[in-house]
Structure formats: structure tokens, C-alpha cells
């Protein structure tokens, strides 16, 4: 039986186009805040896990450069990569090391500086994260194209509209306007989204997450250490993870992500949550809205809505504060930004602060159950991580 693990410190950089800093400086914005928030010294850290996809940045071995700059050389550490789910994979790796007794305190940082490469290069690199030979090389699929396949299939099967997709963007920009760390701190109207140019029909410019530079960090600790460091640990109650097929042709349908559904079922089972009614147990969610259709599919894969009815939640504004379950109060990937490896860690930072009542006025969810959920997808469903965070000590280790 492993040990319980908690978040005891969080840090977050400003997301956006960060030409004012290099990659170690960007990472240090989050690292320094997380260490200070935990109230620890660097020498107390037993393990460093860095999430980093890279390819677009000048630093090929960015994690080593980052640790040197942060004064953390000499520590055990490693780099994790799981596409857009890298941040959650890094948290799981650190969590598992602590649970196994290999470390008492671990620092997790996710960072990307994607704007060091021109947009066409970034689009190509991300497109290669599908199945290179069958999809990118032969058919030229990019990620907007991948998710456009999901969007059109969902519209045809269930009757969703382009307006429904744009309503996701409107919600997420609304909450990002109150988030000082977000890349886009401005509201948009439905008309603004609907009138924006198509990127891959039916997905328009405002249906798509941006290219982002950013970093986020958390300090994790074992139960014994966490209770010495803080009166308000945020526990990692459960983690579910699943891998999907690389090749889209091996998938049976295009209206949900099976890996995400399976990861959610695992997380719910470990936490004792009824998968038929998870919103009864949860206060707030951060989901992987790389494109607006992805958020709607997440509603269904997580069990917030029945299959084919996820679009009705956003149509009826049920994923705003005051609805069935508030989703992406940070602004989500859509408006907060999506620096690939930082995203899952950013979700952890956001949800820890939501549970502790520490986010900005206007985007703080009511906390009644003391539980939050993060849904982080790599690729088009190649990787899926679902993590449940709790104010209450888990009944058993995650």
C-alpha cells in the first residue's frame, strides 16, 4: 500500500507570447513561487520532474538548463513527455515516487516556449504528434483538421451547431478576462466567434487554442511531510490514465475519446465516485479544450452529460458558475493558453487554488464537496489523464 500525496505549494507564470524571458527564466517564475508557497528550501526537495515537449525551443535539453538556473542540480530528476498531457503525466510520475517511498518532497514543473518557432513550424510539429506516416505525411492532417473530424461527426450525429461550439469559447474568454495569468484577458461575443475565419471547417479561429509560452509548478509531499508544512493540503485523491490508438482509422467512432472515458472510470472507481452521477461529488472541473468540440466531448466522457447531450450543457449555460458544474474557470486552454507541457500542471494549480478559495473574484467556484477534477488529453486521445483533487484526506492512497 502506497503513501498518500498532497499538493503543498503552487506557482504559475503569466501565459502568452513571452519574448521578455528565456526558457529557464520562464520556468523559474513558476518554480520560485511554488517553493515559496510550500515554505520549503531547495535542499529539502528530493526529486524534480520536468514536463517538456519541446522541439520549437532553442534549448534541446531544457530541463537540465532549467534546473541549473533554479539552483536544483544534484537532485534526482527526469523529463516526462506525453504530448499535451505531459503535465499530468509528470504529476503522476512524482506522485508515484512519493507514494512508493522514493521521495518525501517532489517538485513538478511543466514549461514550453512555443513562440520561439514560427507558427507553420509549430503547426507541423503538433501535426506530427498524430500518426506521422498514415495521417500527417500522406494526408496532411494538422490538429485543427483532426478535431474538425470530431466536430463534424458530432454535429451530424447529435445535432450540435457551430453556435454551440462558439458558446464554449464565449464562456472561457469570459472567465479568462478575470484571470491575470491568462493569455487572452478579454471577453468575446458569440458574434465575434461566429464571424472569425475558418481554420478547419467547422472550427473557426476562436474555436482553437493559441500557441503559448508558459510554465506552472507544484510541490508535492508525502502525508507526514504535508501535514507538517500546511494546515490546508490539497490531496491527490485518484488518478486514472489510458492510452488510445495512434492511428485514427483504428477508432470506432469520432464523437468521443475512449481513452478519456476509460481514464475517468478508473479515477472515479479509486475515489468511490458514482460514474453515473459524478457531478454530485465534484465542485469544479478543468478540461482539455484544445478546441471547443473537445470541451463538449469531455462533458460526456467525464459523465457530466449523457452521450450526445454535452452540447446542451453549454447551450443552457450549465457549465458556468451556478450551473450543474463549472468548467474551465481559468479560461481553459482556449483562452488561458496552452503551453503543452505546462497545461496539466496549470490545471493542478488552478484546481488547488479553487478548492482553497484563493482565485480571483468572479471566477471562484462555490466549494461544497471539496473535490475537483482535471481532464488532460495528449494528442487526439493518444493519452488521457483524469485526476481528482480533494480537501479531504483520501480513504486510501491514489
> Which of 50, 47, 56, 65 has its CA nearest to residue 111?
50
- Beta-carbon neighbour count of residue 189 at 10 Å? 11
Per the residue annotation, which of 12, 173, 338, 382 is the catalytic one? 338
| 208 counts as catalytic | no
- Beta-carbon neighbour count of residue 317 at 10 Å? 14
| 193 counts as catalytic | no
Phi and psi torsions of 132, nearest 5°: -60, -50
Report the predicted TM-score, pTM, of the whole model to 2 decimal places: 0.97
Maximum CA extent, the chain: 57
DSSP 199: E
Q: Give me the residue spans of the domains in the chain.
A: 5-118+211-229
Interhelix angle 143-158/292-301, nearest 10 degrees: 60
Tens of pLDDT along the chain (398 residues) come to: 589 999 999 999 999 999 999 999 999 999 999 999 999 999 999 999 999 999 888 888 899 999 999 999 999 999 999 999 999 999 999 999 999 999 999 999 999 999 999 998 888 888 777 776 666 665 667 889 999 999 999 999 999 999 999 999 999 999 999 999 999 999 999 999 999 999 999 999 999 999 999 999 999 999 999 999 999 999 999 999 999 987 777 788 889 999 999 999 999 999 999 999 999 999 999 999 999 999 999 999 999 999 999 999 999 999 999 999 999 999 999 999 999 999 999 999 999 999 999 999 999 999 999 999 999 999 889 999 999 999 998 877 77
Q: Residue 240 belongs to what H/E stretch?
A: strand 234-243
Place of cell 538548463: 65
- The answer for residues whose C-beta is within 8 angstroms of residue 212's C-beta and 6 or more apart is 15, 16, 17, 112, 114, 115, 183, 337, 338, 339
Per the residue annotation, which of 84, 166, 193, 290 is the catalytic one? 84
Q: Can you tell me the distance from the alpha carbon of 384 to that of 264, in angstroms, rounded to the nearest whole number?
A: 9
CATH tag for 5-118+211-229 (out of 3.40.50.12710, 3.40.50.2300, 3.40.47.10, 3.40.50.720): 3.40.47.10
Spell out the long-range contacts of 269-275 with Cβ–Cβ below 8 A and sequence spacing 24 or more: 269/238, 269/240, 270/237, 270/238, 270/239, 270/240, 270/388, 270/398, 271/237, 271/238, 271/371, 271/388, 271/390, 271/394, 272/395, 273/388, 275/303
Amino acid at each position: 500500500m502506497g503513501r498518500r500525496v498532497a499538493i503543498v505549494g503552487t506557482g504559475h507564470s503569466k501565459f502568452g507570447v513571452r519574448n521578455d524571458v528565456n526558457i529557464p527564466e520562464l520556468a523559474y517564475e513558476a518554480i520560485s513561487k511554488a517553493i515559496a508557497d510550500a515554505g520549503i528550501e531547495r535542499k529539502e526537495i528530493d526529486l524534480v520532474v520536468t514536463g517538456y515537449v519541446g522541439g520549437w525551443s532553442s534549448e534541446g535539453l531544457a530541463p537540465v538548463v532549467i534546473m541549473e538556473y533554479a539552483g536544483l542540480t544534484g537532485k534526482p530528476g527526469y523529463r516526462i513527455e506525453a504530448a499535451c498531457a505531459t503535465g499530468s503525466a509528470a504529476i503522476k510520475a512524482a506522485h508515484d515516487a512519493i507514494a512508493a517511498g522514493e521521495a518525501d518532497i517532489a517538485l513538478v514543473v511543466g514549461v514550453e516556449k512555443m513562440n520561439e518557432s514560427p507558427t507553420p513550424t509549430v503547426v507541423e510539429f503538433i501535426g506530427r504528434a498524430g500518426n506521422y506516416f498514415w495521417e500527417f505525411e500522406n494526408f496532411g492532417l494538422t490538429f485543427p483538421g483532426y478535431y474538425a473530424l470530431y466536430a463534424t461527426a458530432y454535429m451530424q450525429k447529435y445535432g450540435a451547431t457551430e453556435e454551440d461550439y462558439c458558446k464554449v469559447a464565449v464562456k472561457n474568454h469570459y472567465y479568462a478576462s478575470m484571470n491575470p495569468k491568462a493569455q487572452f484577458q478579454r471577453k468575446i461575443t458569440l458574434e465575434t466567434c461566429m464571424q472569425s475565419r475558418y481554420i478547419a471547417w467547422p472550427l473557426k479561429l476562436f474555436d482553437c487554442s493559441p500557441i503559448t509560452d508558459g510554465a506552472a509548478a507544484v510541490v508535492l509531499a508525502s502525508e507526514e511531510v504535508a501535514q507538517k508544512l500546511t494546515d490546508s493540503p490539497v490531496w491527490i485523491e485518484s488518478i486514472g490514465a489510458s492510452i488510445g490508438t495512434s492511428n485514427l482509422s483504428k477508432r470506432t467512432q469520432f464523437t468521443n475519446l475512449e481513452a478519456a472515458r476509460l481514464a475517468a472510470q478508473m479515477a472515479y472507481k479509486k475515489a468511490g465516485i458514482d460514474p453515473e452521477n459524478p457531478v454530485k461529488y465534484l465542485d469544479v472541473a478543468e478540461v482539455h479544450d484544445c478546441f471547443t468540440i473537445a470541451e463538449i466531448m469531455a462533458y460526456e466522457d467525464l459523465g457530466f452529460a449523457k452521450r450526445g447531450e454535452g452540447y446542451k450543457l453549454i447551450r443552457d449555460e450549465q457549465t458556468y458558475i451556478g450551473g450543474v458544474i463549472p468548467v474551465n474557470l481559468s479560461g481553459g486552454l482556449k483562452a488561458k493558453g496552452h503551453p503543452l507541457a505546462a497545461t496539466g500542471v496549470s490545471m493542478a494549480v488552478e484546481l488547488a487554488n479553487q478548492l482553497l478559495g484563493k482565485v480571483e473574484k468572479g471566477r471562484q467556484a462555490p466549494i461544497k464537496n471539496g473535490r475537483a477534477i482535471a481532464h488532460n488529453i495528449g494528442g487526439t486521445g493518444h493519452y488521457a489523464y483524469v485526476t481528482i483533487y480533494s480537501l479531504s484526506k483520501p480513504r486510501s492512497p491514489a
